[in-house]
Amino acid sequence: MTKLVKKIPLYLLAILILVITGLPFFIMFLTSFKGQMEFMTSPWSWPENFSLDSYKLLIELEFFGYFWNSMIVSVISVVIVIFIAAMASYPLARLTFRLNRPIFIIFMVGMMIPIHTTLVPIFTLTNDLGLYDSLLGLVGPYIAFALPISVVIFTQFMRDIPKELEESAKIDGCSHIRLFWNIIFPLLTPAVATVSIYNFIQIWNEFIFALTLTSSSQTATLPIGLREFYGEFSVNIPGIMAALTLGSLPLLLVYFVAQEKIVAGLAAGSVKG
Amino acid sequence: MERTDDLKIVKVKNVPKRKNKDTWAIIGFIAPAFLIYGVYVIYSIFMTFYYSLFDWTGIDSNMVFIGLENYIALFRDGVFWTSIQNNFLLVIASLFTQLPIGLIMALLLFSPIKGMRLFRSVYFMPFLMSTVAIGILFIFIYEGNYGLLNSVLGVIGLESLQTAWIGKESTAIWAVIATVCWQFAPFYMILFRATIVGIPEELYEAADIDGATGWQRFKNITLPLLMPIIVTSAILSVIGSLKYFDLIYVMTGGGPNNSTELMATYMYKQTFTNFNMGYGSSISFAMFIIAFIVTLFILFGDKQRKGNDS
């Protein structure tokens, strides 16, 4: 009995934090099923008859185009980052050469560089390359800013792989390309998971480059689309809540399916970073 | 820029002739990443400094070289100083809210309470939402008339506290800081939790035999072992706060009356709204210098700490 009493403050604190973190999501979700009039009269009550009007409106407005854009940009960027970051990490982790440390530090320093410091040159560069307002124009900066953490994670991970593995392969006259591709890369699966999860979340939610380097709704990614929708329908609050719900849904769904994996991946990435 | 760097590798690597075979492999493996990183990050930093020496709108090709005049103007610009002040307020507030709350959340996840899976799942959700979505959502939470926060205050009898949270200069920055904390505390929770999981159970068992209380266990075992990750988290939090942008841009746009202006939002405003690309570039280069100095300070402080420990 005394044990239970002792636990009451713990429960109260746990529930308080649960309400603070969870309530905004809950309200967002519920409000998205309300009619506009209903929201005006009683903004925070339980919805009377779960209306799907807001979601219908989103489909009519081709809201899913934004998903598609975000998906393309995120997947392309993450796949390229995995390959070129793993490649760059191979000599940094496994070979000794004079510029090894400086190059590693140059990549690592990238984690503290404010994106805004590169914004104007990247804007003019993207214009000059004819990539302004195209999804391809976003891929370059996304890759560049994902590289520092990815190179650090891969390098740390590869340093822990026993040297004997490739010693024997080297004796067999294996080239570096085959060594990397056939022996090292297959062992990287946990690091690949970490790098993909971390970067996917970052790129999927990225805002400032998308805001600066694209302008039309054909190239808008999800965060840009959400903001556009908010600007246009700011009085239709259930509609906005439906857009926010849909916009958050993909990551939340993936999270609930692969929770442990995502949490472990994020932690590993940041701790090493 | 990056091409000359590649050449340097070649030159240096050519000195010991014996290793020549590896040299090309090293260049080949590093080149793709280094090229993209070099163009978009390294080259851009130099170009930002270059642009900051000009009077330039960014829309026409008429660039007038004015030396350091943009920086002189920056020193006299009251809004810039307000934004630096707000950035450092955000840095300090983040350190003293996100990290302790993240730690409390992580410790709760190890306490003997039921329904752990629910707590854990919900606690982490804010970090997965895009900042833009969080910004829009919290505009409605802080709304002055029917907003969720004011409604809750009304229900628990605190009507006197009701206000237009992000519409007033005195409350706007705090409302934003609370939102940033809501977003990032779960992230630090995850980092702390991952570290606590790795603490060997034997340490606690030994402490139990010695009759240690819960607080002693925390102070003497958990906290010291968490120290490295707390330092890492502090670095992440400080750097993140110095370059913060998205939420402010969406929620307040730096207003009301520049009271929530940050260096990044002010830079964006000058560059892409007022079309002062030269002046905007001087703000972004100043951001770079400030972030650089602060990082050096933290790394130096961490080295001192490690030196004292051993």
Comparing CA positions, the residue from A209, A207, A221 lying closest to residue A250 is A221
How does A157-173 read in b/e, with b if 16+ C-beta sit within 10 Å? bbeeeeeeebeebeeee
What is the model's pLDDT at position A2? 66
Query: Which chain B residues in 38-77 lie under 8 Å from chain A, judged by CB atoms?
Result: 39-45, 47-48, 51, 58
Residues in A 51-90 with any Cβ partner in B closer than 8 A = 84-85, 87-88, 90
CA-CA distances (angstroms) from residue B280 to A23, A122, A269, B78?
39, 14, 33, 15
Peptide bond preceding A250 in cis form (omega within 30 of 0): no
The whole-angstrom distance between residue A155's C-alpha and the CA centroid of its chain comes to: 21
Query: Binning pLDDT at 50, 70 and 90, where does residue A121 land?
Result: very high
What is the per-residue pLDDT for A237? Answer: 87
**Strands of chain B, DSSP E:** 54-55, 64-65
pLDDT digits (tens, 9 = 90+) for B86-125: 999 999 999 999 999 999 999 998 888 888 888 988 999 9
Question: Half-sphere exposure of residue B290, counting CA atoms within 13 Å on the CB side?
Answer: 24
Residue of A112, A230, A267 lying closest to B190 (CB–CB): A267
**What integer best gives the mean pLDDT of chain A?**
87
The yes-or-no verdict on residue B18 having pLDDT over 70 is no
Other Cβ atoms less than 10 A from the Cβ of B188: the count is 27
What is the three-state SS of B90-142?
A: HHHHHHHHHHHHHHHHHHHCCCCCCCHHHHHHHHHHHHHCCHHHHHHHHHHHC
Say yes or no to pLDDT of A133 above 90.
Answer: yes
Domains of chain B: 2-51 (no CATH), 78-309 (1.10.3720.10)
Query: A62-232 has which CATH code?
Result: 1.10.3720.10
pLDDT band at B309 (very low <50, low <70, confident <90, very high): low
Q: Is B281 on the interface with A (CB under 8 A)?
A: yes
Determine the longest span between alpha carbons in chain A, in angstroms: 79
**Residue B4 pLDDT class (50, 70, 90 cuts):** very low
Choose the mutation target among A73, A78, A112, A118 for the interface with B, i.e. most B CBs under 10 Å.
A112
**pLDDT exceeds cutoff 50 at A273:** no
Q: Tell me which residues of chain B, numbers 98 to 157, contact chain A at a CB-CB cutoff of 8 Å.
A: 104-105, 108, 111-113, 118-126, 128-133, 136-138, 140-141, 146, 148, 151
**Secondary structure tally for chain A: helices H, strands E:** 15, 0
| Per-residue pLDDT tens digits for A64-100 | 899 999 999 999 999 999 999 999 999 999 888 889 9
Mean pLDDT, chain B, whole residue set: 86
Distance CA(B200)–CA(B210), nearest Å, equals: 17
Query: The tokens of B116 are what?
Result: 């752990």
Provide Rg for chain A, Cα atoms: 24
Instruction: For chain A, give every domain's residue range.
Output: 2-57, 62-232
**CB-nearest partner of A176 from B25, B133, B243:** B25
Percent of chain B with pLDDT over 70: 93
Closest CB from A10, A111, A237 relative to B113: A10
Size of interface A-B (CB pairs under 8 A): 256
Q: Which tens digits make up the pLDDT trace of B29-84?
A: 999 999 999 999 999 999 999 999 999 987 777 888 998 999 999 999 999 999 99
Q: What is the ipTM of this complex?
A: 0.89
Whether the Cβ atoms of residue B246 and residue B135 lie closer than 8 Å to each other: yes
A3-39 tens-digit pLDDT: 777 788 889 999 999 999 999 999 899 989 988 888 8
Q: How far is CA B290 from CA A117, A240, B98, in A?
A: 11, 38, 22
B193-235 confidence digits (pLDDT tens): 888 888 888 888 888 888 888 788 888 888 888 888 888 888 8
**pLDDT for res A35:** 84
CA distance linking residue B100 with residue A57, whole number of Å:
42
To the nearest whole angstrom, how far is the Cα of A159 from the nearest Cα of chain B? Answer: 16
Residue type, A67: F
